[in-house]
Structure 1
Amino acid sequence: MVRSSLAPLAALAALTAIGASPASAQSACGPREQLVKLLASQYKEDPVGMGLSQPGQVLEVFASSNGSWTMIMTMPDGKACMIAAGDNWEMVTKVKGNPV
């Protein structure tokens, strides 16, 4: 699907519209709450996982029921950047005794 190549462009447009500086808009970054709203409204993506990357940096994965997904990294100051997006997301669960 073309979504993965269009997602950064959509985020850039949305972040530019909300007043992100040109430098942060070029890298698809902005306030976390605005990026989360964009993912929910435009792609119907909700959080499905998260983890601590570096001290104070949080990596989150958002996914939709139709398989689209986006990864964002949030810095301690609340700025978040889209770092990857794609399609065909599947939740994998480990069954006791059977490695994934």
Structure 2
Amino acid sequence: MRPLLFTLFSGFAALLVAALPAAAEGPACGTRAEIVRQLENRYAESRHGMGIASNDSVLEIFASEASGTFSVLVTLPSGQTCLIASGNDYQSLAEPLPAQGKGA
């Protein structure tokens, strides 16, 4: 399931990164160190997953199991890090893939 989720998150991240200039307010961007520090201090979130997206960006998922909050960061090849999504009710899943040829 992890490869499927990673592929879905990577595709989602690539779409969001491609749409960044079109956003009205734009995402919260800055140095990775500062954004991670804020996630740790304000929300007690730590990194739960990461991967390399097709556009060579690094996608990271931060979450707090205590509060259920989560944040999705993308670090672009330029080094700029942007918070592209956040929310509540984070759940860590490890579901098996369906049998080949069968729907979900």
Q: Is 1:79 paired with 2:80?
A: yes
Q: How many residues align?
A: 75
Q: How does 1:1-100 map to 2 (within 5 A)?
A: 27-65=27-65, 66-94=67-95
Unaligned runs of 5+ in 1: 1-24
The alpha-carbon deviation at position 82 of structure 1 amounts to 0.5
Name the TM-score, length of structure 1 as normaliser. Answer: 0.65
Unaligned runs of 5+ in 2: 1-24
Q: Using the alignment, how far apart are the partners of 2:31 and 2:97 within structure 1?
A: 39
* Helix, strand or coil at the partner of 1:33: helix
Amino acid at match of 2:91: E
Name the TM-score, length of structure 2 as normaliser. Answer: 0.63
RMSD after superposition? 2.4
The alpha-carbon deviation at position 51 of structure 1 amounts to 1.3
* Helix, strand or coil at the partner of 1:38: helix
